[in-house]
Structure 1
Amino acid sequence: MDYSVEQRFYDAAARRTSDATGFIDVAARFLAEGLDSQALRELAGVPRSTRSKELRGLVQTALAELSIPRPTRDSPGQKVTQDGTTYARLPTDEVRFEIVPARELERSYEVLVYVNDFEITEAGAGMGMHPFDLIVPANQLLATAEPRRVVVARCTCGEPGCGSTEALITRDGDAVHWDWYVDVPFDHGVSFDAAAYDAAIEHLAADQSWQRPVDTVSRLVLEGVDRDGVSSIGLELSWAAADHRDPDKFLVALFAPAEKFQVFLRFQLRGRPPEEVADEVMRRLRTSPRSWSATFHSMVVGKRGRPSMAGWRWRSEDPR
């Protein structure tokens, strides 16, 4: 798509929020392309020692002289419409994803996000999200016309609640915009060609090369479990992964919201194909909880007792 010189100048202004001195070169370039105003000429000729506040003032004056709106942060992609012309960040950024062993956590993985070959996950909150947090059971990075915030990086302790980088992801025609929130990697959003973005997230979702057998079990369970069926017996699936206390076991954690109990099911993992383990998990979840061999603990401090759905083979993990 062809963009006018005014639209490209708006894009440059939207991106040059901290590197004010870079606007000296930008001004000279746009003058050479035919854009002209008194403030733009002044901006192209000022010394690089000029204070940032003065440089930004010249940028704002040039925008006004050229009848180009000031970039706003109030809409995805900094999109504004003036006199029938739409201005926004242009889809000139590039994104790629890489799944690697987590640098700060043992036996875990993270999704590194690179924008223009710059890793924003470390520059933001510090560490990428676990792949399952982004792409299983559904791809959270999918861009739609309805904006949605997605946590794309977390604190190096592993908890997004401790620190996070969030992207407001929005599809707008042939562009996909990411606008940053919380721990931002840099001070302006980024915009991608929609087709290239779709290809990048599809490639990420299709990559299963990093998965250990236990990760494959987790993926199959998270993708295949009948969540409505689990909900009908008063439970919610919280997570499914290796039991950190016994790596030979696969642990399924459920939550009983009405009674505030966490419920655990364990399955033999070692020596079994992932598909077999996942199938057993999903078959078990289709049976009555009273028939389960399960453990549980209360999520309410000081609360004792048993979940009303508990069978005779349920035992408490609460300290006595």
Structure 2
Amino acid sequence: MPTNSSTQIQLVARPDGWPTHDDFRTVTVDLPELGADEVRVQNEFISVDPYMRGRMNDVRSYVPPFALGETMTGAAVGRVVESTSDAHPVGALVTHQQAWRDVAQGPAAGFRVVEDIPGVPSSAYLGILGVTGFTAWLGLTEMAALRSGDVVFVSGAAGAVGSAVGQIAKLLGASRTIGSAGGPEKVAHLTDRYGYDVGLDYRAAPIREQLVAATGTTNGDGIDVYFDNVGGDHLEAALEVFNDGGRGAICGAISAYNETGRAPGPDNIGNLITRALTLRGFTIGAYLDRFPEFAAAMGPWLAEGDVVFDETVRDGVENTVDAFLDLMRGANTGKMVVAI
């Protein structure tokens, strides 16, 4: 496969509601010769993630929006095919942030050499061994301050982060885990594959009603920790059944990412006061110093089979937009990646 050019996908319009193919274009870029201490990488897998939808809007956030007319970025993993860096030899496996393209190039400092792990696909560095797993671990340990014996509720529990949260929570001492997902197949996967004690199908009935039935509203019968990937009605459901002193790690709100108007707030927000609850929103950028601690825990868990992971794979850089749209519709189980 030639590597002196790169097929890339660029954002050309800011979506109004749901993104469409018209918001993107595919271009071929000729790559210059490498300069000093640079690398060229053939990507093996690129990541598509829900947060990318927010960056398509020109609004204030924790990172700048994607620029119109420029190639999309995000996590990727690939092999070095050319190098002028002694620390990045040809053939090395590297992770970096030049996704949405088949070939990446730039200063070596932007590419991190990682280990080839026998039996583990390189795509794991975009998921359970990377940002996905770290997000799950950080949300439980730092944001929600998980304690032994806690009851944990997770929205979007069949997704990349949610599937990791349930397993990590049990390994850290949670007494019971409850997850929500869309459809009976995904709900069965929660209990059969990821070890959730209870799986709830949010498409079958209002999630608040289901969560009340699965727990209770009396203090001590509810949940202690909520890990939120969805927002909206799931946040209301959690607020309804929190025990006194409950803690929420607010990671995402995918239910509202494609809305064009403002979503109303939870109708039971007063429970924050009466039950002395803590809801803590977070992104991982301010906590990257804790990544080695996460890696030291996750590596053995994965090697010993204590943590399992799934991927939904789309083939070909030309199908990256489709992969992203499928992700936003919930068509994935586990991490959504594109194989190059």
TM-score band w.r.t. shorter chain: under 0.3
Kindly name which structure, 1 or 2, has the bigger radius of gyration based on alpha carbons: 1
Q: Which has the higher contact order (CA 8 A, sep 6+)?
A: 2
TM-score normalized with structure 1 length: 0.21
What's the TM-score, normalizing by structure 2?
0.20
